[in-house]
Each structure stands twice: as structure tokens, then as C-alpha cells.
Amino acid sequence: MGDLEGRRALVSGGASGIGRAIALAFSGAGAAVAVADLDESGARTVSREIHSAGGRSAAIRCDVSAEPDCRRAVEEAAAAFGGLDLLVNCAGIIRRASVLDTTEEEWDRLMAVNVKSVFLLSRHAIPHMVSAGGGVIVNISSGWGLTGGRMAAAYCASKAAVVNLTKAMALDHAPQNIRVVCICPGDTDTPMLRHEARQLDRPVEGFLREAADRPLGRIGTPDDIAHAALYLAGDRAAFVTGAVLVVDGGGLAG
């Protein structure tokens, strides 16, 4: 799907789920990958997987809602690999609640992790990409960034912000040969999806069966999303920027 030989990548939220799958896919395509996550132990585990497969990797503890951590993560990744060409903004959290049941603290935390992190990591990564002659930023949004969802008001708002931030950044940085693209996954088999069921006080297996009620008849896998990211990050997508790719088994089709 993509040849990333010699590229240098930073993946936020890389310790599990979609972020882990993207980190492994990028490494398998030849990129050196810095795995950044608040879960430092998980980041190290993924980094060891990459090393065991013969790849280059670094593990970085990063609270993506904090500017000093984001600055340090980018600088450590660039120092480890001699620069930075790719950034994947994958870190994210969810709160399944209406506006009435969402506290101000929950709203602020969700916006900080899901939206501010994209701004902060991109802000620090872009100068390195300019120095390298260009780069690619892949932002992970959600199908609920394009349409509303019940009992997820703050999450929907945050993911919609990521979609439009992607488009604005694509316009601003195209002259610097930096492409900015967005993936909107549907329900994907990750720890976060199971966490949603618990937030809603729903049996996990029944929740997953309902999530699979879409044209292709299943929920997504992290690899489904990683394959899309691999395409968008590679040269086969050289004329793609500002684009939003829905990967959801047809869930938004009708």
C-alpha cells in the first residue's frame, strides 16, 4: 500500500488500538517510528515489537494535552531519527454523554486531548517537515466528526473540529509541500470501543453486535484504519491533501 522507506514518523496514541496498528504498519513499510503515549509502558511494548521485527523505533511518554510534553515528544523523535517527515495525530478519548450530563472538566479534557493535541503536535512538527522539504500529517477523526451521534456531544464536537482543522492546515501548508489529511473511522475494535459500552452501562458483546450493523456487516479492525493511513502517508497519495477519508464499512453511506 505504501513505501515509507527512510521516512521518520511520530504517532501519538501509539500504545494501543488504531495508533499501535499505524505504528506497526509504518514500520513495516520502512519508516522509523516514535511511539508517543501517556501510557509509557504500552509505548515501550510497541517500540519493542518494532525493534524485534528489525525496525527503528523510540518510545516517548507524552501527555498530548500539555504543550511542554508535545514539544519534547517532537524534539525527541526528531533527535532520534535525524528529522521528522510524518506525524499521525491519533490520541483520543471519548465521553458518552449528552451536554446536560457532561461536566465542564470532562468537556475541557476531551477537547484538550482530541483537538488541542493536533494543534500542539503539528505546531512543533511542521518546522521539522519544512526543514526536510515537506511532510505529511494524518489526523484521526471519526465518522461522528461528519454527522451527529447520540450521547456523545463533546466527542462529536471535538472530532468535527479535527476535520475542519485538517482542511485549514492543508491550505496553509501546501506551499511548504506539507500534506494534511484526515481519516474518519467508524466503530473499530479497540479498547476505547469497549470502554464506550461500559460508559453506557451496556453489555460489551451486545454493544459490539449493534456496532456491526452496517453495510459490510462488521466493525472495523485497527489494521483497516492503518492501511488507509499507510496509503495517505505515502507517495501514492502525493496529490491528496485536505481530504477526509471515511473508513467505516459503509456506515455513513445511507
Please write the tens of the pLDDT for every residue from 71-80: 999 999 999 9
The answer to whether residue 202 sits within a structural domain is yes
Model confidence over 41-55: pLDDT tens digits? 999 999 999 999 999
> Rg (Cα) of the chain, in Å, rounded?
17
Q: What's the CATH number where 35 sits? A: 3.40.50.720
Give the pLDDT of residue 254: 81
The answer to whether residue 145 sits within a structural domain is yes
Q: Count of domains in the chain? A: 1
The answer to whether residue 155 sits within a structural domain is yes
CA distances from 206 to 10, 194, 202, 221 (A): 35, 11, 8, 17
The answer to whether residue 31 sits within a structural domain is yes
| Active-site pick, 155, 159, 197, 237 | 155
Rounded mean pLDDT of 1-25? 94
The parent domain of residue 185 ranges over 8-246
Reduced to 3 states, what is the DSSP secondary structure of residue 240?
coil
Residue in the block written with cell 484504519: 225
In this prediction, residue 206 has a pLDDT band, given cuts at 50, 70 and 90, of: very high
The answer to whether residue 3 sits within a structural domain is no
Q: Is the pLDDT score of 9 beyond 70? A: yes
Q: What is the average pLDDT score of the chain? A: 97
The answer to whether residue 27 sits within a structural domain is yes
Identify the burial level of 167 via C-beta atoms within 10 angstroms of its C-beta, where 0-12 means exposed, 13-18 middle and 19 or more buried.
middle
**φ/ψ (deg, to 5) at 50:** -65, -45
The answer to whether residue 236 sits within a structural domain is yes
Q: Is the pLDDT score of 1 beyond 60? A: no
Model confidence over 178-195: pLDDT tens digits? 999 999 999 999 999 999
pTM of the model: 0.97
Q: Is the pLDDT score of 101 beyond 70? A: yes
Reduced to 3 states, what is the DSSP secondary structure of residue 11?
strand
Q: Is the pLDDT score of 148 beyond 80? A: yes
Rounded mean pLDDT of 15-44? 98
DSSP symbol at 60:
E
- Is 231 annotated as catalytic? no
Q: Is the pLDDT score of 2 beyond 70? A: no
In angstroms, the CA 130 to CA 199 distance is: 42
